[in-house]
Amino acid sequence: MKPIKLLLCAMAAGAMAFAAGKASAFPLKLTSVSGTFTVTPSYSAITDSSSAKATKASFNLKKVMVVITNQVFLNSGTNPPAGSYVVYDPYLFTTYLTNSDGYYYDLSGIVAIYIEDIATTFKGNGTGGSETDVTIADLDVYGQGPDGLNYEVGIYGLGSIKVSYKTDKATVTISGSGADEGEYQSSDYGITKGSFTLKGSGTPEWSGPYSIYWETD
C-alpha cells in the first residue's frame, strides 16, 4: 500500500481521462464538515479524583472556519476576506483559503487533506462516464480560536470518490468519515468523530485511467 494525494479524473474523447494539471482547473471546495469532540480537559486535574467525565462538544463547517481564519490572521496579521472558503487542489496537492475575488492563502500547517489506497470502479465511452472509488480519506485541521485556545479536528477513515464525466468536464465529490486525534479548548487528550465533503468540477489535463496511473506511478 502507498499513501497518495489525490489526482482526479474526467472523460476524454474515446477513453477515460484522469486529470492532473493547473491549480485553477479543478478546485475542490470543502462544502461540509461536522462531528463531535470527546476530550479529557486536564489529566492533572483528575489524577487524585475518584471519578471523571469526558467533555463533549460538536463542530460544524462554520465553527471549523472560525478556527482556520483566526489562525490565518495570527500567522499573517491580516484578516481573510469575508466569504473565504477552503479549497483542495488535486493537482498541486495543496490546500488553501480563497474567495470569489481570487484571494489566496496557503493553509500548510493549518489544514491537511489526503487520500490513501484507492479501489476503483469506472466505465465510460467517448461522450461520458462515471467512477466510484472506495478510499481512505483524511482531514486534519489545527489552529487557535479567537478565545486563545487550541483546537484540532481529525477525521480519518472510510471515504469515497464519485465522478461523473461529460466530454471534457468532470464533476467530483469526495467524502470521508471516521475518527482521529482531537483537541477542544486546549484539552490534554481527545478524539474527534465526524465526516467531511469536498466538491468541484473542471476540465482535466491528465490522460489515461487514473487508477492505472496511480498503480504504476
Beta bridge partners of 12: 15
Which of 65-74, 147-156, 196-205 has the lowest average pLDDT?
196-205
What global pTM score does this model have?
Answer: 0.85
Give the pLDDT confidence score for residue 14 in this predicted structure. 31
Give the pLDDT confidence score for residue 23 in this predicted structure. 41
Nine-digit cell string for 200: 468541484
Beta carbons of 72 and 105 less than 8 angstroms apart: yes
User: What is the H or E stretch that residue 211 is in?
Assistant: helix 210-216
| Residue 204 pLDDT class (50, 70, 90 cuts) | low
Beta carbons of 9 and 216 less than 8 angstroms apart: no
Say which residue, 53 or 2, is predicted with more confidence: 53
Q: 51-73: per-residue pLDDT in tens? A: 989 999 999 999 999 999 999 99
- Give the mean pLDDT of 174-183: 97
Q: Domain boundaries in the chain?
A: 3-38+55-216
| Residue 139 pLDDT class (50, 70, 90 cuts) | very high
Say which residue, 11 or 112, is predicted with more confidence: 112
Beta carbons of 177 and 195 less than 8 angstroms apart: yes
Beta carbons of 29 and 198 less than 8 angstroms apart: yes
